[in-house]
Amino acid sequence: MRHNKKFNHLGRTASHRAAMLSNMAVSLIMHKRITTTLAKAKALKKYVEPLITKSKEDTTNSRRVVFSYLQDKHAITELFTVISQKVADRPGGYTRIIKTGFRASDAAPMCFIELVDFDENMAKTAKKAKRTRRSSKKAAASAEEAAPVAEAPAAEAAETAAPAAEEAQE
């Protein structure tokens, strides 16, 4: 019976798989985003998320346990200083997998895996408010109030740039 043996072996021996996942985890920690196949990304997610959880508690024992998996001093330092500070209040789900299509040579499904709190493009940004009939008057009034403030620095920059352009022509 194969109870509790639901692990993707990725077509590798145990030692090769452990070395590959360790190298991929170090790359993910150092670069914050890596591109790989979907199967490897899913295996890496299961490998690296417990290590990030372990890094929240900065003790000698937790550093030794994480080092036994990663075997890279620089990655351990990065994990316990930078990454653990960013994910301190997050209860899990430190990585995100985004599918990017299929590889040209063998049509393998490709994706990139990234640390959630380190992506500036997907960071929480203020969404534009929906314009309804009631809010359009308020939005227009607030835009008029903010417009003169925004124009003043631009006008000053244009005035200072004009003499510089005239000097360059002479």
| Residues 104 and 24 occupy one common structural domain | yes
Q: How far is CA 6 from CA 11, 38, 45, in A?
A: 14, 17, 15
Residue 6 has pLDDT above 70, yes or no: yes
pTM score = 0.69
| Residue of 53, 96, 49, 58 lying closest to 77 (CA atoms) | 58
DSSP 113-140: EEEGGG-STTS--PPPPPP-HHHHHHHH
| Residues 106 and 138 occupy one common structural domain | no
| Residues 143 and 83 occupy one common structural domain | no
Q: What is the maximal distance between C-alpha atoms in the chain?
A: 88
Q: Is residue 5 part of a domain?
A: no
| Residues 19 and 100 occupy one common structural domain | yes
Provide mean pLDDT across the span 133-160.
54
Q: How far is CA 31 from CA 61, 114, 132, 157, 166, in A?
A: 25, 9, 43, 38, 46
Structural domain boundaries, residue 67: 14-118
pLDDT in tens, 106-118: 999 999 999 998 8
As a whole number of angstroms, the distance between CA 35 and CA 98 comes to 10
Q: Is residue 88 part of a domain?
A: yes
Provide mean pLDDT across the span 65-74.
96
| Residues 29 and 94 occupy one common structural domain | yes
Structurally, the chain folds into a number of domains equal to: 2
Q: Is residue 123 part of a domain?
A: no
DSSP 32-93: SEEEEEHHHHHHHHHHHHHHHHHHTS--HHHHHHHHHHH--HHHHHHIIIIIHHHTTT--S-
| Residues 76 and 58 occupy one common structural domain | yes
Q: Is residue 4 part of a domain?
A: no
What is the per-residue pLDDT for 134?
67
pLDDT-derived band at 7, boundaries 50, 70, 90: confident
| Residues 111 and 152 occupy one common structural domain | no
The chain-wide mean pLDDT, for the chain, equals: 83
